[in-house]
Structure 1
């Protein structure tokens, strides 16, 4: 089986697995969570940029605004979970803003590439 065939077959499970990993990392105690070394907002943006691209590929027939809304709500879920004291994380509306900005940037880039490929 060629690599591209594996990709086509597993693009949806790859998206959902990545989403679960991002959630797990987001609720992991801050002192144990990996860091890209560029700050918390960069970590958020990187995670949601990748999730958006994977989601767009996995669910191309779904309207872009639906994917953006779903991922943005996922960002809110992360922040609500981080607000639970037992999780030992800090919730921030600015983290959600970073998530949403990354979603819009990634989705915009994906839509531009899709239009260029159609030509």
Structure 2
């Protein structure tokens, strides 16, 4: 069974709920004026880091696939007309790019720590 660090897991749950909520409300508030892709990358970079901290011995591949799937599902849900949001596959590409980037850094860090 995979070890779970409860405080980080709780932070991950809160962050996922916040990210999904912001992605699905019709008119999310603009707190910081940055590009859409940077917002996606900030959100999914944070979710990736929190996932690794919550599951320190977890499979990086599994973490990556599940977060990428979450990004894809958000885009599918944003295509629902009643939400008044836009489905953009490039948002999913941005999500997955930062997920892979963070996981590569974590992998290098894990290898360096073992030496």
User: Is the TM-score greater than 0.5?
Assistant: yes
For structure 1, the residue ranges without an aligned partner over 5 or more in a row are: 1-7
Is residue 52 of structure 2 the alignment partner of residue 56 of structure 1? yes
After TM superposition, what 4+ stretches of structure 1 lie above 6 angstroms from structure 2? none
> For residue 20 of structure 1, what is the aligned residue in structure 2?
17
Name the TM-score, length of structure 1 as normaliser: 0.86
1:100 and 1:43 mapped to 2: Cα distance? 13
Q: Which deviates the most, 86-95 or 106-115?
A: 106-115
How large is the Cα RMSD of the aligned pairs?
1.4
* 1:37 is aligned to 2:33: yes
Match of 2:88 among 81, 89, 92: 92
State the match for 1:3 in structure 2.
Answer: none
Provide the rounded CA distance (Å) in 2 between the counterparts of 1:96 and 1:54. Answer: 19
Using structure 2 for the length normalisation, give the TM-score. 0.88
Q: State the secondary structure of the residue aligned to 1:67.
A: helix
Is the contact between residue 52 and residue 107 of structure 1 (CA under 8 Å) also seen in structure 2? yes
Q: Any stretches of 5+ residues in structure 2 without a counterpart? A: none
Q: Deviations over 1:6-62 (max 9, x none)?
A: xx54111111111111000111223x3335322100100110011001101111222
Query: Residue 77 of structure 1 aligns with which residue?
Result: 73
